[in-house]
Amino acid sequence: MAAAPVAVVPEAGSRPASSAMIWSALAVVYVVWGSTYLAIRVVVEAEIPPMLGMAARFLVAALLLAGFLALRSGVSRLRVSRRELLGAGVVGLLLLAFGNGAVAIAEQTVPSGLAALLIAAVPLWLMLLRVGGGERPRPLTWLGVLIGFGGAALLALSGGDTSAKPWSVAILVLGTISWAVGSRFSPRLGLPKDPLVATLYEMAIGGTAMVLIGVLRGEPGRLHLGAIDTQGWIALAYLVAFGSLLAYSAYSYLLANAPISLIGTYAYVNPVVAVFLGWLILDERVTAEILLGGAVVVLGVALVVSAERRRRS
């Protein structure tokens, strides 16, 4: 599976991004990340400590990606400057250690519907960061973001279960802010020009930080490999191959080539994908509220896409 991201992410020095490449990467992020919430839930329910589980996810993915790149292009492709390594480290900490790690910890108690609503706040944080940086997004972009957030709220409320520990909700909110900050400023941090190499170091540094955080949380004492069932291992392997190697590589590519407001629409589409997969695979009931919420999300995404297309033209 290590070769999969290459269909989405070009090597350094290849032709500029096309609309087809951007939308292919966005489709991967839409669909694959929409399925990872279920996989993360399976992992934490399989008695795998959240930070150590996510650390294994990203460190294994980093090793596989490094091996693939070295075999394909030589070890020289992995060389980066000190500034590039520092930039990749900052992004790895913000997006993976603090962002994804917060999701894994929170999903131990936070219901999926509420988690989807909170994660859907990422585009709003991104919008506030844009305004704070002096940008003036189009009114249509604002409208699309707010409509998309409303659709995600409908999806969350349709879940029926809104019980969650306050500390879990607080951790998840902080995680969304960390993810938004990392996404917003990553193009300015001097990352490696090769998106795959940037992804490699972000996963390696972020995964290493997760190990340290897991140790501080006392997770090694709660890790019992013999107690992990087959479903837990399968879910972890899925997160490595698809959630990390494929989808995170696609996301890194988007950060370097697509408008940030367009990228942020994944936070609205992911809950829709999650609901659909629940209906398709787990035979979960699809209510009128879910259908309405999904339609509103699609409308919000369409408005953002339309606004950003006009802005670039």
3-state SS string for 51-94: HHHHHHHHHHHHHHHHHHHHHHHCHHHHCCCHHHHHHHHHHHHH
Cα 107 from Cα 116, distance rounded (Å)? 11
5-19, 100-114, 190-204: which has the highest mean pLDDT? 190-204
**Is 6 part of a structural domain of the chain?**
no
**Is 107 part of a structural domain of the chain?**
yes
pLDDT digits (tens, 9 = 90+) for 148-176: 778 767 766 665 454 557 788 788 888 98
pLDDT digits (tens, 9 = 90+) for 53-69: 999 999 999 999 999 99
**Predicted local distance difference test score (pLDDT) of residue 76:** 93
Task: Supply the Cα-derived Rg of the chain in whole angstroms.
Answer: 19
| Mean pLDDT (whole number) for 123-136 | 78
Cα 300 from Cα 149, distance rounded (Å)? 8
| Mean pLDDT (whole number) for 202-229 | 93
pLDDT digits (tens, 9 = 90+) for 175-187: 988 998 998 888 8
- pLDDT(202) > 70: yes
**Predicted local distance difference test score (pLDDT) of residue 11:** 41
Number of compact structural domains in the chain: 1
- 308: which 2 tokens? 């950003």
- Placement of tokens 């960390």 in the chain: 178
**Is 7 part of a structural domain of the chain?**
no
**Is 156 part of a structural domain of the chain?**
yes
- 92: which 2 tokens? 């790895």
CB 144 within 8 A of CB 301: yes
Cα 3 from Cα 111, distance rounded (Å)? 34
**Is 126 part of a structural domain of the chain?**
yes
The neighbour count for residue 279, using CB atoms within 10 Å, is: 13
| Mean pLDDT (whole number) for 14-35 | 82
**Is 2 part of a structural domain of the chain?**
no
Non-local CB neighbours of 123 within 8 Å, separated by 6+ positions: 145, 148, 149, 261, 264, 265, 267, 268, 304
**Is 12 part of a structural domain of the chain?**
no
Find the range with the poorest average confidence among 22-31, 95-104, 224-233, 293-302.
293-302
**Is 240 part of a structural domain of the chain?**
yes
23-32, 54-63, 298-307: which has the highest mean pLDDT? 54-63
**Predicted local distance difference test score (pLDDT) of residue 94:** 95
- Residue-number span of the structural domain to which 205 is assigned: 18-312
